[in-house]
């Protein structure tokens, strides 16, 4: 999937100190995730439903 025009967002709790940040981008039917320290590295693509499940799970850790 071509993500060159995707708009990436970082969590509002993240700062610019290069911590452990994940960025997300919404693309048709999919949510893309990447490491903010390595934006040209690999990407993870998940369905919107799977992303919602992941986010809910992480909230309860």
The candidate with the shortest Cα–Cα distance to 32, out of 50, 44, 42, is 44
What is the pLDDT at residue 34? 93
Mean pLDDT of 54-60: 91
> Is 2 part of any domain?
no
What is the pLDDT at residue 16? 65
What is the pLDDT at residue 58? 87
What is the pLDDT at residue 43? 95
Which domain, by its residues, includes 23? 9-59
> Is 32 part of any domain?
yes
> Is 1 part of any domain?
no
pLDDT, tens digit, 9 for 90 and up, residues 3-50: 989 999 987 767 666 567 889 999 999 999 999 888 898 999 999 999
> Is 4 part of any domain?
no
> Is 42 part of any domain?
yes
Per the structure, the count of domains in the chain is 1
Q: How many CA atoms lie within 13 A of 30 on its CB side?
A: 13
């Amino acid at each position: 999937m071509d993500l060159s025009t995707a708009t990436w967002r970082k969590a509002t709790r993240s700062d610019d100190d290069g911590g452990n940040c994940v960025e997300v981008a919404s693309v048709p039917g999919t949510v893309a995730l990447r490491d903010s320290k390595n934006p040209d590295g690999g990407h993870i693509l998940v369905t919107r439903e799977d992303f919602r499940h992941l986010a809910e799970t992480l909230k309860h850790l």
